[in-house]
């Protein structure tokens, strides 16, 4: 693999398809997507920060003890959106109330990438025939729900433009990174950009 020439899809899938799980990472930093692919094959404890491990455990615990017993919830459904070339999984879908839910360990602030991720899930679900009347992001640690407006009108146009820009990005493209992001990035110990900024 040739350094930053790597693109944001896996090698053996349709090269035009973008993984929904990587949209949030991409908005945080395009290089983190590249590093994710490099280190995905290693033990996550090598680079996962405590808060990420906690989030994973919280998801697993809730999945086992709460949602698995309720038929109204669809959990971890694989989704594909032909229109925008997106694929991935949704977190939860409430079949009774037609609500798409994405759980995060702890939300202190909502970021663009999180909107992009749930909007991609929304369009995929709609294309697959599911009705979605509302979107929520749920913060597990403090048990708070955040209502996300549906991507209609200008939100839809903004979503389409972000997807186009992500698809056009190549890892050889120049970009600068905010050192504050590098300071809280799980790859900061492994990333030459972060290392050069700290010198």
Contact footprint for ligand SF4 (CB under 6 A): 29, 31-32, 35, 177, 181-182, 185, 187-188, 191, 193-194
Tell me if residue 101 falls in helix, strand or coil.
strand
Cα dihedral 91, 104, 4, 197 in deg (nearest 10): 180
Least distance in angstroms from the C-beta of 2 to ligand SF4:
18
| ∠ Cα 111 41 170 (to 5°) | 55
Least distance in angstroms from the C-beta of 185 to ligand SF4:
3
User: How far is the C-alpha of 19 from the C-alpha of 23, rounded, in Å?
Assistant: 7
- Cβ proximity to ligand SF4: between 33 and 132 the closer is 33
Least distance in angstroms from the C-beta of 87 to ligand SF4:
23
- Cβ proximity to ligand SF4: between 6 and 187 the closer is 187
User: How far is the C-alpha of 56 from the C-alpha of 75, rounded, in Å?
Assistant: 15
- Cβ proximity to ligand SF4: between 27 and 100 the closer is 27
Least distance in angstroms from the C-beta of 81 to ligand SF4:
27
**In contact, 119 and 113? CB cutoff 8 Å:** no
Least distance in angstroms from the C-beta of 186 to ligand SF4:
8
Helix, strand, coil share (%) of the chain residues, nearest 5: 45, 15, 40
- Cβ proximity to ligand SF4: between 23 and 135 the closer is 23
**Nearest C-alpha neighbor of 52 from the set 193, 196, 187, 146:** 187
Least distance in angstroms from the C-beta of 195 to ligand SF4:
8
Q: Residues for the chain: how many in total? A: 199
- Cβ proximity to ligand SF4: between 87 and 186 the closer is 186
User: Quick one: tokens of 46?
Assistant: 């090598």
Tell me if residue 146 falls in helix, strand or coil.
strand
- Cβ proximity to ligand SF4: between 9 and 32 the closer is 32
């Amino acid at each position: 693999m040739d350094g930053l020439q790597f693109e944001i899809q896996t090698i053996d899938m349709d090269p035009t398809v973008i993984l929904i799980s990587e949209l949030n990472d991409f908005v945080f930093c395009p290089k983190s997507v590249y590093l994710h692919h490099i280190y995905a094959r290693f033990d996550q404890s090598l680079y996962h920060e405590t808060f990420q491990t906690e989030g994973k455990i919280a998801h697993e615990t809730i999945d086992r003890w709460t949602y698995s017993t309720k038929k109204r919830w669809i959990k971890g459904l694989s989704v594909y959106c032909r229109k925008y070339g997106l694929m991935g999984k949704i977190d939860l879908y409430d079949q009774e109330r037609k609500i798409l839910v994405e759980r995060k360990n702890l939300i202190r602030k909502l970021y663009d990438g999180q909107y992009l991720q749930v909007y991609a899930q929304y369009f995929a679900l709609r294309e697959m025939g599911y009705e979605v009347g509302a979107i929520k992001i749920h913060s597990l640690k403090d048990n708070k729900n955040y209502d996300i407006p549906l991507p209609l009108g200008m939100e839809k146009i903004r979503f389409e433009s972000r997807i186009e820009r992500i698809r056009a990005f190549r890892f050889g493209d120049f970009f600068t990174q905010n050192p504050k992001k590098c300071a809280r990035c799980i790859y900061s110990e492994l990333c030459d950009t972060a290392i050069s900024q700290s010198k």
